[in-house]
Chains A and B, each alone.
Chain A
């Protein structure tokens, strides 16, 4: 049962370090350096998962990031579990737990396997076509049912406990890929004084040449692997060269900006990783980039080509020559080119039974001669028409091909095997090249897309540039690097390379079969279960564009992004439609090249680092007095201060009454503050606000309304003239940064002639706003030298003052309608100012109130809040604020737009007050307002923008925007809610103290 498939002749594993791991609950052993895939294969485990749609058994197919089938769940349950990990990339560590995905109850027996037998009735587009009607069943039946059966792995249910990081890297030359061409390039680059970085996604360098142990491939009379190994030893000591292992390039953007993910602990046991960084995202800016990303082998497309035991020939070679693992005892190689013969010879040398099925008529290379001489049986001009074996391949059926390759002839031959290695030629990995904006060209001779024109300073070398043979790779890598780095000679110029392969292959995208296509299953995309049949169906249904066929059949849309499937899909489309591959183009290669974890993407920006939190200088006081906080932009503002078991409603009612009856205090530090200086400051304010500013006296304050150029209200606030040429503007809390940017924009681009300088001083000052009938008495105690009367210190004026020797600015302005003062002081004294106000106000029962009470008090007065009662479609006229729009001023931002036909319409939505017929009923903010509920469709007249129960009026009040509202005063309207309809009456929007008598009380 537990046959050992490992021969320990390999020098690439640490044979002294035996590691145990669990797969589907069973314990296995492997060695340090094994991937999960190689370790499982050494234990004879081929069946890894079930396919996505038909639940067919699937095994390991490749040895790298292109793996479509062997994707597993890593880690047990809880926070460390990770779905959709490629077994071919995951290195094993002591205690690793992995399990199969997409199967129930087990990978051996999977109930979903029924889908395979009903597959004729679930072709491409099945879901689109079937679940269209009746429409109402979608939410109740179809979607829940499909969701239950869909999906691959399970996502973790707890927060990720691991650490991730981001880091920037700058270099002269970045080399991507540590195969033979990447090593030569990195060596040349660093030898010539370039600060060079070489990144490699595996744990060691050398690519596939490092285990090429064959007399036919020699460099300077050494075996290619021996020569390369010496080069690797040399480059490790180079001063200018940094090598990053387990680092895979995710994205290649314009201007040579690249993202790479470095894996730091994924290959380590849980004990070894505690409190260490798991993955790091490198943000790389390189002056020059050399892509040496290699090529991946193509599968061949024939009936039932997806069984466990069907693998890529180059991967089988890596498993035997690198990991020392044989993938079967009786191997058949099925190929259309010479490279698979290397696999055959390797297996044969190790005494493993192998034979070859080749769709070509012959090949005259030394490599093929060696295979023949070794006595390997070759079936020339044959193709595989079927495979058998459910959980592992058991045998294949082959037939002779007709002269033109479109049909099969003669009788079937049955060959017994437990592994089928397939090779359909090579596909250059041009993903990164195209991500950077490069354009591809199609090479007809071997049917490959290769890099053509690049948009940034870069080259592609080696097999990703379409050079697949050792002699071409070395020759072209050296000459291309010399050109790219402007060198006249390199240490590699005199290399002598021997390589014996025939470079021609015979390409057939979909191999012929004795059965009609409808009766076969030739898989293209193994992960998404799309077959050649599905592609042809899509074409019959009228899809022509490769992008449409891709989405309809889901070919290439799995986690492997169709690294194996896409070329064959293109080939079949081009054949069926009679269009040349070159003109058909490819689907778009999008980043990331391989999936990234969310952790890597967000790095350190989690939890409290997710966004900046701005706190006022009084924040600690609010916190110690049990304030609840509200987020306003990045600010934390005190929302309300509940006492004992008060609800929010109760606290706000209490605070609102106290502020009007005696005294209240608000932390207004978050309001935006812009210091405006310059000889043209008054003129500047004239241009940015709707009202006039020239005549504002020194020491006076004025409310201003700012529009956008389209005439809509943008921001508001009080501006104070501190001296002849110095103003202090306040803005809304959320609008501060945008207002400053907008003003800077106008100053720099439209009015550069104005002598005006803007400085953001929001964080420089803390502001306490004291309001209520007793505010004057409190201020008198704090500032005994100032005369607080309406003559010396009237409403809308300002005074410099001192509090214990610290300079303050006091503005007598009001957002509550009460007699009130705003005291500004340098931020560091903010908390002390607040405490002094509280002390002085104690005898007047001064009550701290939060933003909710502030909103309620201003709503009683009908003061708008920009962004709550306005939404970017409200002009000052809509807000019934005609009084603030200067008719005399020649121009201001947005003025012309107030005279457009649309903004002059009389039936626009306008600000009104609403009173509920039942004074205890409080409207919901956002609720729609209608006149007639029975008219179909119901006409929406507007909506409620602010709504409160006013403790000072003892009734519910609301602000709303209503179509033609100015003319509707006294009109009865309806507010239909889910369970009832509320009757309301349009009223004036100033509910309280409409004569402003309290300001001077």
Chain B
């Protein structure tokens, strides 16, 4: 169980958070203009990396805010935490 630094509340136990899958997948502004394949790509295709991954997390049992986390899935090391809408700190 790791510790996540919520950008709004600070360090909290992982049990207060829920994971929301891959980050930076933007909902298309004009879905009707996408082909079936393009829409399916947005809807279903997600990365599952062993290593550094960009993820969405929600402080579900806290401030209920969504934010982004850069986490190494192989050892749970968290490299960075940043708010929604912010650019990921470049590595």
Contact A709 B43 (CB under 8 A): yes
Residues of B near A891 (CB, < 8 A) are 30-32
Q: Is A920's beta carbon under 8 Å from chain B?
A: no
Q: Say whether, besides A254-B1, A255-B1, A900-B36, A741 and B31 are in contact (CB < 8 Å).
A: no
Residues of B near A749 (CB, < 8 A) are 56, 66, 84
Residues of A near B60 (CB, < 8 A) are 741
Give chain A nearest CB distance to B79 CB in angstroms: 14
Partner of A748, one of B26, B32, B65: B65
Q: Kindly state the separation between the CA atoms of A380 and B54 in the bound complex, as whole angstroms.
A: 63
Closest to A892 in B: B31
Give chain B nearest CB distance to A561 CB in angstroms: 22
Question: Main secondary structure on chain A at its contact with chain B?
Answer: mixed
Interface residues of A in 427-452 (CB under 8 A from B): 437
- What size tier do the contact residues of chain B reach? 20 to 34
Residues of A near B27 (CB, < 8 A) are 709, 750
Interface residues of A in 692-710 (CB under 8 A from B): 709-710
Residues of B near A81 (CB, < 8 A) are none
Interface residues of A in 724-767 (CB under 8 A from B): 741, 744-745, 748-750, 752
Contact A254 B20 (CB under 8 A): no
Contact B36 A254 (CB under 8 A): no
Q: Kindly state the separation between the CA atoms of A749 and B26 in the bound complex, as whole angstroms.
A: 9
Contact A896 B58 (CB under 8 A): no
- Chain A to chain B: the 7 pairs with minimum beta-carbon distance, closest first: A896-B31, A255-B2, A748-B66, A257-B1, A254-B76, A750-B27, A455-B75
Q: Say whether, besides A741-B58, A745-B66, A895 and B1 are in contact (CB < 8 Å).
A: no
Contact A897 B39 (CB under 8 A): yes
Interface residues of B in 36-65 (CB under 8 A from A): 36, 39-40, 43, 56, 58, 60, 64-65
Give chain B nearest CB distance to A2 CB in angstroms: 53
Q: Is B34's beta carbon under 8 Å from chain A?
A: yes
Residues of B near A752 (CB, < 8 A) are 84-85
| Other A-B pairs beyond A710-B43, A744-B66, A749-B66, 14, CB < 8 Å | A254-B2, A254-B75, A255-B1, A285-B3, A437-B75, A709-B27, A741-B58, A748-B84, A749-B56, A749-B84, A752-B84, A891-B31, A897-B39, A900-B36
The chain B residues found within 8 Å of chain A, CB to CB, are 1-3, 13, 20, 26-27, 30-32, 34, 36, 39-40, 43, 56, 58, 60, 64-66, 75-77, 84-85
Residues of A near B66 (CB, < 8 A) are 744-745, 748-749
Q: Say whether, besides A744-B64, A750-B27, A900 and B76 are in contact (CB < 8 Å).
A: no
* Tally of contact residues, A, Cβ under 8 A: 24
Q: Kindly state the separation between the CA atoms of A455 and B78 in the bound complex, as whole angstroms.
A: 12
Q: Kindly state the separation between the CA atoms of A745 and B85 in the bound complex, as whole angstroms.
A: 13
Contact A896 B64 (CB under 8 A): no
Residues of B near A437 (CB, < 8 A) are 75
Residues of A near B1 (CB, < 8 A) are 253-255, 257
Residues of A near B32 (CB, < 8 A) are 890-891, 895-896, 899
Contact A895 B76 (CB under 8 A): no
Contact B39 A900 (CB under 8 A): yes
Q: Count the A-B residue pairs with Cβ separation under 8 angstroms: how many?
A: 53
Give chain B nearest CB distance to A576 CB in angstroms: 32
Closest to B40 in A: A900
Residues of B near A745 (CB, < 8 A) are 20, 58, 66
Q: Kindly state the separation between the CA atoms of A750 and B36 in the bound complex, as whole angstroms.
A: 21
Partner of B76, one of A255, A750, A901: A255
Q: Kindly state the separation between the CA atoms of A750 and B24 in the bound complex, as whole angstroms.
A: 10
Give chain A nearest CB distance to B26 CB in angstroms: 8
Interface residues of A in 446-466 (CB under 8 A from B): 455
Q: Kindly state the separation between the CA atoms of A255 and B3 in the bound complex, as whole angstroms.
A: 7
Residues of B near A253 (CB, < 8 A) are 1
Closest to A752 in B: B85
Q: Kindly state the separation between the CA atoms of A710 and B43 in the bound complex, as whole angstroms.
A: 7
Give chain A nearest CB distance to B45 CB in angstroms: 13
Give chain B nearest CB distance to A601 CB in angstroms: 15
Closest to A750 in B: B27
Closest to A740 in B: B64
Closest to B3 in A: A255
Q: Kindly state the separation between the CA atoms of A752 and B56 in the bound complex, as whole angstroms.
A: 16
Residues of B near A255 (CB, < 8 A) are 1-3, 76
Closest to A708 in B: B43
Q: Kindly state the separation between the CA atoms of A749 and B77 in the bound complex, as whole angstroms.
A: 24
Closest to B4 in A: A255
Q: Kindly state the separation between the CA atoms of A155 and B85 in the bound complex, as whole angstroms.
A: 55
Residues of A near B43 (CB, < 8 A) are 709-710, 897
Give chain A nearest CB distance to B24 CB in angstroms: 10
Residues of B near A257 (CB, < 8 A) are 1-2
Give chain B nearest CB distance to A21 CB in angstroms: 40
Residues of A near B65 (CB, < 8 A) are 748
Residues of A near B56 (CB, < 8 A) are 749
Q: Kindly state the separation between the CA atoms of A254 and B77 in the bound complex, as whole angstroms.
A: 9
Q: Kindly state the separation between the CA atoms of A752 and B75 in the bound complex, as whole angstroms.
A: 33
Closest to A257 in B: B1
Q: Kindly state the separation between the CA atoms of A255 and B75 in the bound complex, as whole angstroms.
A: 10
Partner of A895, one of B31, B58, B75, B84: B31
Q: Kindly state the separation between the CA atoms of A681 and B84 in the bound complex, as whole angstroms.
A: 21
Q: Kindly state the separation between the CA atoms of A752 and B85 in the bound complex, as whole angstroms.
A: 9
Q: Kindly state the separation between the CA atoms of A749 and B66 in the bound complex, as whole angstroms.
A: 7
Closest to A255 in B: B2
Residues of B near A285 (CB, < 8 A) are 3, 13
Residues of B near A899 (CB, < 8 A) are 32
Residues of B near A741 (CB, < 8 A) are 58, 60
Closest to B34 in A: A896
Closest to A899 in B: B32
Closest to B18 in A: A741
Residues of B near A748 (CB, < 8 A) are 65-66, 84
Most chain A CB inside 10 Å of its own CB: which residue of B34, B66, B85: B66
Interface residues of A in 911-937 (CB under 8 A from B): none
Q: Kindly state the separation between the CA atoms of A111 and B76 in the bound complex, as whole angstroms.
A: 52
